[in-house]
Amino acid sequence: GAVVSQHPSWVICKSGTSVKIECRSLDFQATTMFWYRQFPKQSLMLMATSNEGSKATYEQGVEKDKFLINHASLTLSTLTVTSAHPEDSSFYICSARDWIGGDEQYFGPGTRLTVT
């Protein structure tokens, strides 16, 4: 149980283009999903918290117009990196909390984004 998927697992795009990453909870409903990015040999950095049907809450320093988050259903959240630049290259990971309860976050496998 508590499986979270992400798609794509890796993507290469050209500078100036936009990239969409999907995060799905496969066997549970998630009212809250989280988006992180992780640089090599560093810990997780929370970018935003997304609640189904409402606007995401972004962490300080994260540009909401650049990292668009949509949480349209209890099993799907998307992160769109708009007008990507090489400095946006990173490992993006989503997580989800079970609707029924429990405080644990269950993580997807991550998406490696490379902007050339």
Partner 1 sequence: EDQVTQSPEALRLQEGESSSLNCSYTVSGLRGLFWYRQDPGKGPEFLFTLYSAGEEKEKERLKATLTKKESFLHITAPKPEDSATYLCALRGDAGNNRKLIWGLGTSLAVNP
Residue 108 sits in the site that holds partner 1 (CB under 8 A)? yes
How many other C-beta atoms are found inside a 10 Å radius of the C-beta of residue 75? 20
How many other C-beta atoms are found inside a 10 Å radius of the C-beta of residue 50? 27
Residues 74-93 that bind partner 1 (CB under 8 A): 91, 93
8 A C-beta contact, residue 108 and residue 38: no
Query: Site for partner 1 (CB under 8 A): which residue of 78, 95, 113, 115?
Result: 95
How many other C-beta atoms are found inside a 10 Å radius of the C-beta of residue 71? 25
**One character per residue 24-63, x = contact with partner 1 (rule: CB under 8 A):** --------x-x-------xxx-x--x-------x------
Which CB, 88 or 111, lies closer to partner 1?
111
Encoding tokens for residue 27?
Answer: 């066997």
Residue type, 93: I
Residues that bind partner 1 (CB under 8 A): 2, 4, 6, 32, 34, 42-44, 46, 49, 57, 91, 93, 95, 97, 102-110, 112
